[in-house]
């Protein structure tokens, strides 16, 4: 169908409109009388409607039309209520699901049951009379709201819902339900059943009765209607990139210049005019650098999209936990590689959730700050909560056998905090009661290290906690340290390197079987890259070249044969099945045609340990 | 005391299967009926605690029999049985007063979950 050609475009644009809707909603949450904001919101809904109708996506059109109507009322009232904002946020979630349906060529899910949950108060004078936000529960009207979801395997959902509706009616009076009995009898098969029930029976008792239906997947008594899926993960639509025509023009100009350059070089070669050839190569160098720079620009996105979603996370979470938490964002305009932003989304959501859930007790601020230091981006998530008590971690590390008593005495706070990222150090419940942190931090750390970044934790009791991520600007082109081992060159992302050093053999001390060195005032274990890679015995080196790095939360001195130097390289992923090789995260071709591999120490050590 | 059930189905196979499920679970099958008319008679004579009623039967169908039984005994616990393709029949039956339904092909656990629940509610 002709219209299919436009589908990707529609999906990408609609997703953008949704993102800005969420952003505007978050702003309106702070200033509910911002007329421009409400106007802008109306326009976003209107744009989605126009596109969806053109594409003949009926349910998406229906939902956006409904939103448009409601927002029109808000426009006339000159304000938007907190309940309405919450509901509209949920509507954006539903939009995302609808877009997923369209993307996956599924039939769009039905929006009628969601529309039926629209807050009742918007169009009435109550909003005018009560500028203060109302509690979402009380504003929902009379009765108990019951939301039922069946398992996907249920053979006859329509009849099952009908039986459930009858069962619920035994507890009192059903004020309304979506779908209604009549709709069910007409063969309407919904995803979920929403019932508003007026009953004297305690909620728990009703729930017990409902639990006897093994067909039920989920029974909820929402103060407001919960949408089943709230996904923050990126959708495949993000894979398309929109670039400005200006940038495209730039590419065309560059291509033109490259063509001219080619003739210049060919000519110089034919005439053996070395000066001309030299000029030509110089010109080529300049052009390629420019091209690289521009291409990188296409891949760069700002953190704004991500931080926008995070403010949503904080909003939803603090509301559900009845906490007063603000999100402060600094440096959202910082740009980095789109692939990195995608990789960072889940870890950052995790960190922010941790801060809201465990870091801050009842009110406070979570701040996200991003800044650039040379070719690295630093992103810091901080809270002003109770902080992490190193003593508690120390005790726990002792109890769990992560440290022996003498290590526990000498370990520095920095390394102590890194223990939080060790797999198995903590489980959610235990830590939220003790140190208040550590939920899934090992997962976060692994994700950050996967893209060549590092994670630092810093905190003190009563002073909140700061988690800093250092990540490379771009995944494709990164600065690496090239080392040599057993005659082979290999590379490590510079972002993983703390320092390089050369030490005299006399400086090496032994502690049992382990060789150690003093690095500043720390004792670091020496580990030989030859040994890890199972090459022949170590050769005697004087001085000994070292790479100070951090693996699995521990600082180590990695002994290599030679430190070759630093370089910017274009890293390519290895094609299957080579991508399965542990210890190697990609390859690159050096200027002289040599192929070198990128060392992934993390996985090498995991193998070694295992 | 064990619960007393009346099984209504025109297929011997289904009746045997249900009988098996019920007796294994400690129920007492007090009668079986092959038609709607037989079901009505058996209900009046035996006053069972629960009826499983096939919906598609020759002559008088399940819905008609169900309505007839409920006219005299409005609280009768009747669970209808039907094949998957007959959802509108199931909807009609529930609307007519069936307490619950079982979709064929069924498994003993599903059958027992439904009937135990219905019995406890009635």
Nearest to B91 among A155, A167, A185 (CB): A185
pLDDT digits (tens, 9 = 90+) for A145-194: 888 988 877 878 889 999 999 889 888 888 888 888 888 888 777 778 88
Q: By mean pLDDT, which of A27-36, A225-234, A459-468, A565-574 is the weakest?
A: A225-234
pLDDT-derived band at A1, boundaries 50, 70, 90: very low
pLDDT at residue A124 is higher than 70: no
Q: A193: Cβ–Cβ under 8 A, 6 or more apart, which residues?
A: A146, A147, A148, A149, A161, A164, A165, A177, A178, A179
| Average of per-residue pLDDT across A117-139 | 42
Q: A156 and B113 in contact by Cβ < 8 A?
A: no
Count the domains in chain B.
1
Please list every residue in chain A whose beta carbon sits closer than 8 Å to the beta carbon of residue B106: none
pLDDT at residue B52, as a whole number = 96
Q: A184 and B91 in contact by Cβ < 8 A?
A: yes
CA-based nearest residue in chain A for residue B99: A163
Give the residue carrying structure tokens 């959902």.
A157
Q: In what order do the strands lie in the sheet with A544-551?
A: A497-503, A544-551, A554-559, A522-528, A514-519, A509-511
pLDDT-derived band at A491, boundaries 50, 70, 90: very high
pLDDT at residue A137 is higher than 70: no
The three-point CA angle A487-A490-A492 to 5° equals 150
pLDDT at residue A281, as a whole number = 92
Q: Is A335 helix (H, G, I), strand (E, B) or coil?
A: strand
More confident residue, A562 or A319: A562
B84 touching A, CB under 8 A?
yes
pLDDT-derived band at A132, boundaries 50, 70, 90: very low
Please list every residue in chain B whose beta carbon sits closer than 8 Å to the beta carbon of residue A212: 113, 117, 120
Number of neighbouring beta carbons within 10 Å of residue A66: 18
| Average of per-residue pLDDT across A215-243 | 57
Q: B7: Cβ–Cβ under 8 A, 6 or more apart, which residues?
A: B15, B18, B19, B22, B29, B31, B32, B33, B51, B52
pLDDT-derived band at A509, boundaries 50, 70, 90: confident
Task: Please give the interface size between A and B, counted as residue pairs whose CB atoms are below 8 Å apart.
Answer: 37
Q: Which CATH class is domain A477-609?
A: mainly beta
Quickly name the fold that domain A303-472 has: Heat Shock Protein 90 (3.30.565)
- Cβ atoms of A411 and A403 within 8 Å: the answer is yes
Extended strands (E) in A42-163: 144-150
Please list every residue in chain A whose beta carbon sits closer than 8 Å to the beta carbon of residue B117: 212-213
pLDDT at residue A551 is higher than 60: yes
Please list every residue in chain A whose beta carbon sits closer than 8 Å to the beta carbon of residue B103: 155-156
pLDDT-derived band at A496, boundaries 50, 70, 90: confident
pLDDT at residue A429, as a whole number = 43
Please list every residue in chain A whose beta carbon sits closer than 8 Å to the beta carbon of residue B113: 212, 214
pLDDT at residue B84, as a whole number = 66
Written in H, E and C, the secondary structure of A446-479 is HHHHHCCCEEEEEECCCCCEEEEEEEECCCCEEE
pLDDT at residue A131, as a whole number = 34
Looking at residue B30, which CATH number applies to its domain?
Answer: 3.40.50.2300
pLDDT-derived band at A223, boundaries 50, 70, 90: low
More confident residue, A356 or A125: A356
Q: How far is B64 from chain A (nearest CA, A)?
A: 18
pLDDT at residue B20, as a whole number = 92
Please list every residue in chain B whose beta carbon sits closer than 8 Å to the beta carbon of residue A167: 121
More confident residue, B28 or A540: B28
A121-125: list long-range contacts, CB under 8 Å, 24+ apart: A121/A81, A121/A83, A121/A84, A122/A70, A122/A73, A122/A74, A122/A77, A122/A81, A122/A84, A123/A70, A123/A73
Angle between helical axes of A58-77 and A35-54 (0-180°, round to 10)? 160
More confident residue, A342 or A148: A148
pLDDT at residue A121 is higher than 70: no
pLDDT tens across the length of chain B (122 residues): 789 999 999 888 888 889 999 999 999 999 999 999 999 999 999 999 999 999 888 878 899 999 999 998 888 999 999 876 678 889 999 999 999 999 887 788 889 999 999 998 87
How far is the C-alpha of A52 from the C-alpha of A486, rounded, in Å?
61
| Average of per-residue pLDDT across A111-138 | 52
pLDDT digits (tens, 9 = 90+) for A517-529: 888 878 899 999 9
- Cβ atoms of B10 and B58 within 8 Å: the answer is yes
pLDDT at residue A607, as a whole number = 58
More confident residue, A336 or A228: A336
How far is the C-alpha of A139 from the C-alpha of A245, rounded, in Å?
49
pLDDT at residue A609, as a whole number = 52
Q: Does domain A1-130 have CATH number 3.40.50.80?
A: no
Strands B100-104 and B78-83: parallel
More confident residue, B4 or A39: B4
pLDDT digits (tens, 9 = 90+) for A418-467: 888 877 776 444 444 333 444 577 778 878 887 778 888 888 888 888 99
Task: Mark out chain A residues that contact chain B at CB-CB < 8 A.
Answer: 155-156, 158-159, 162-163, 166-167, 170, 181, 184-185, 187, 212-214
pLDDT at residue A414, as a whole number = 78
How far is the C-alpha of A586 from the C-alpha of A579, rounded, in Å?
8
pLDDT at residue A490, as a whole number = 93
Nearest to B91 among A158, A212, A214 (CB): A158
CA-based nearest residue in chain A for residue B109: A214
Q: Supply the mean pLDDT for chain A.
A: 81
Q: A162 and B103 in contact by Cβ < 8 A?
A: no
CA A508 to chain centre: 42
pLDDT at residue A232, as a whole number = 35
Question: Residue A355: which region, alpha, beta or left (left: phi > 0; alpha: psi -120 to 50)?
Answer: alpha
Instruction: Indicate the domain borders of chain A.
Output: 1-130, 137-223, 241-301, 303-472, 477-609
Strands A522-528 and A172-178: unpaired
Report the share of chain A in percent with pLDDT over 70: 88
* Separate counts of helices (H) and strands (E) for chain B: 5, 5
Nearest to A187 among B88, B100, B103 (CB): B88
pLDDT at residue A454, as a whole number = 84
pLDDT at residue A583 is higher than 80: yes
Which of B13, B46, B9, B23 is closest to B112 using CA atoms?
A: B23
pLDDT at residue A91 is higher than 50: yes
Q: B94 and A158 in contact by Cβ < 8 A?
A: no
Please list every residue in chain B whose beta carbon sits closer than 8 Å to the beta carbon of residue A159: 87, 90-91, 94, 101
How far is the C-alpha of A434 from the C-alpha of A389, rounded, in Å?
9
Preferred mutation among B62, B77, B100 to probe A, highest tally of A CBs within 10 A: B100
Nearest to B113 among A155, A185, A214 (CB): A214
| Average of per-residue pLDDT across A478-502 | 89
pLDDT at residue A360 is higher than 70: yes
pLDDT-derived band at A545, boundaries 50, 70, 90: very high
pLDDT at residue A476 is higher than 50: yes
Q: How far is A105 from chain B (nearest CA, A)?
A: 26
| Average of per-residue pLDDT across A30-44 | 86
**CATH code at A137-223:** 3.30.70.1110
Please list every residue in chain A whose beta carbon sits closer than 8 Å to the beta carbon of residue B84: 155-156
Report the share of chain A in percent with pLDDT over 90: 13
Range of the domain at B105: 4-121
Q: How far is B54 from chain A (nearest CA, A)?
A: 16
How far is the C-alpha of A81 from the C-alpha of A32, rounded, in Å?
7
Preferred mutation among A155, A181, A187 to probe B, highest tally of B CBs within 10 A: A155
pLDDT-derived band at A98, boundaries 50, 70, 90: very high
Q: How far is A224 from chain B (nearest CA, A)?
A: 29
How far is the C-alpha of A460 from the C-alpha of A563, rounded, in Å?
38
Q: How far is A163 from chain B (nearest CA, A)?
A: 6
Q: What are the backbone angles phi and psi of residue A210, rounded to the nearest 5°?
A: -65, -30
pTM: 0.47
């Amino acid at each position: 169908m002709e219209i299919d050609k436009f589908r990707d475009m529609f999906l990408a644009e609609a997703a953008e409109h949704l993102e800005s809707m969420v952003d505007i909603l978050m702003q309106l949450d702070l200033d509910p009388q911002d007329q421009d904001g409400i106007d802008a919101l109306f326009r976003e809904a209107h744009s989605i409607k126009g596109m969806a109708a053109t594409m003949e996506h009926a349910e998406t059109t229906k939902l956006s039309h409904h939103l448009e109507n409601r927002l029109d009322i808000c426009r006339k009232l000159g304000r938007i209520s907190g309940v309405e904002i919450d509901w509209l946020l949920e509507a954006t979630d539903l939009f995302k699901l609808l877009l997923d349906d369209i993307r996956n060529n599924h039939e769009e899910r039905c929006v009628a049951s969601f529309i039926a949950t629209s807050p009742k108060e918007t169009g009435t004078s109550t909003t005018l009379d009560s500028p203060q936000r109302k509690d979402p529960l009380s504003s929902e009207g009379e009765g108990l709201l019951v939301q039922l979801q069946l398992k996907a395997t249920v053979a006859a959902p329509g009849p099952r819902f009908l039986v459930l509706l009858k069962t619920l009616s035994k507890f009192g009076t059903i004020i309304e339900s979506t779908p209604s009995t009549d709709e069910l009898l007409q063969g309407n098969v919904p995803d979920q059943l929403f019932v508003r029930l007026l009953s004297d029976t305690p909620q728990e008792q009703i729930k017990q009765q409902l639990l006897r239906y093994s067909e039920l997947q989920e029974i909820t008594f929402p103060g407001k209607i919960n949408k089943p899926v709230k996904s923050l993960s990126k959708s495949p639509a993000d894979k398309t990139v929109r670039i400005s025509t200006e940038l495209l023009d730039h590419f065309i100009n560059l291509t033109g210049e490259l063509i001219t350059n080619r003739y210049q070089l060919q000519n110089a070669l034919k005439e053996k005019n070395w000066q001309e050839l030299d000029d030509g190569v110089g010109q080529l160098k300049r052009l390629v650098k420019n091209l690289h720079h521009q291409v990188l620009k296409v891949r760069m996105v700002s953190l704004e999209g991500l931080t926008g979603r995070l403010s949503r996370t904080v909003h939803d979470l603090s509301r559900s936990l009845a906490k007063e938490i603000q999100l402060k964002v600094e440096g959202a305009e910082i740009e980095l590689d789109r692939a990195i932003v995608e990789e960072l989304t889940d870890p950052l959501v995790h960190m922010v959730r941790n801060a809201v859930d465990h870091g801050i007790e009842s009110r406070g601020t979570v701040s996200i700050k991003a800044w650039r230091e040379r070719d690295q981006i630093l992103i810091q998530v901080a809270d002003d909560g109770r902080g992490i008590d190193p003593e508690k971690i120390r005790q726990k590390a002792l109890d769990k056998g992560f440290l022996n008593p003498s290590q526990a005495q000498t370990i520095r706070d920095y390394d102590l905090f890194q223990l939080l990222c060790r797999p198995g150090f903590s489980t959610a419940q235990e830590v939220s009661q003790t140190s208040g942190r550590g939920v899934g931090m090992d997962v976060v750390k692994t994700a950050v290290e996967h893209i060549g970044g590092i994670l630092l934790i810093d905190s003190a009791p009563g002073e909140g906690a700061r988690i800093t991520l250092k990540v490379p600007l771009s995944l494709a082109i990164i600065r690496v340290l090239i080392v040599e081992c057993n005659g082979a060159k290999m590379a490590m992302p510079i972002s993983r390197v703390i320092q390089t050093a050369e030490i005299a053999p006399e400086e090496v001390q032994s502690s049992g079987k382990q060789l150690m060195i003093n690095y500043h005032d720390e004792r670091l274990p020496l580990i030989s890259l030859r040994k890890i890679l199972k090459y022949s015995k170590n050769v005697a080196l004087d001085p000994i070249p070292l790479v100070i790095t951090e693996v699995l939360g521990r600082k180590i001195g990695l002994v290599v044969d030679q430190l070759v130097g630093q370089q910017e390289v274009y890293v390519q992923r290895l094609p299957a099945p080579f991508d399965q090789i542990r210890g190697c995260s990609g390859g690159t071709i050096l200027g002289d045609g040599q192929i070198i591999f990128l060392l992934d120490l993390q996985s090498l050590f995991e193998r070694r340990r295992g | 005391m064990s619960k007393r059930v009346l099984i209504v189905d025109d297929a011997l196979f289904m009746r045997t299967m249900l009988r098996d499920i019920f007796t294994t679970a400690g129920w007492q099958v007090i009668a079986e009926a092959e038609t709607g008319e037989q079901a009505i008679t058996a209900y009046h004579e035996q006053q069972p605690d629960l009826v499983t009623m096939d919906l598609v039967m020759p002559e008088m169908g399940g819905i008609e029999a169900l309505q007839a039984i409920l006219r005299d005994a409005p609280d009768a616990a009747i669970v209808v049985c039907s094949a998957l393709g007959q959802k509108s029949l199931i909807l009609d039956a529930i609307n007519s007063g069936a307490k619950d339904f079982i979709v064929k092909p069924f498994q003993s656990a599903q059958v027992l979950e439904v009937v135990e629940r219905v019995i406890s509610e009635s």
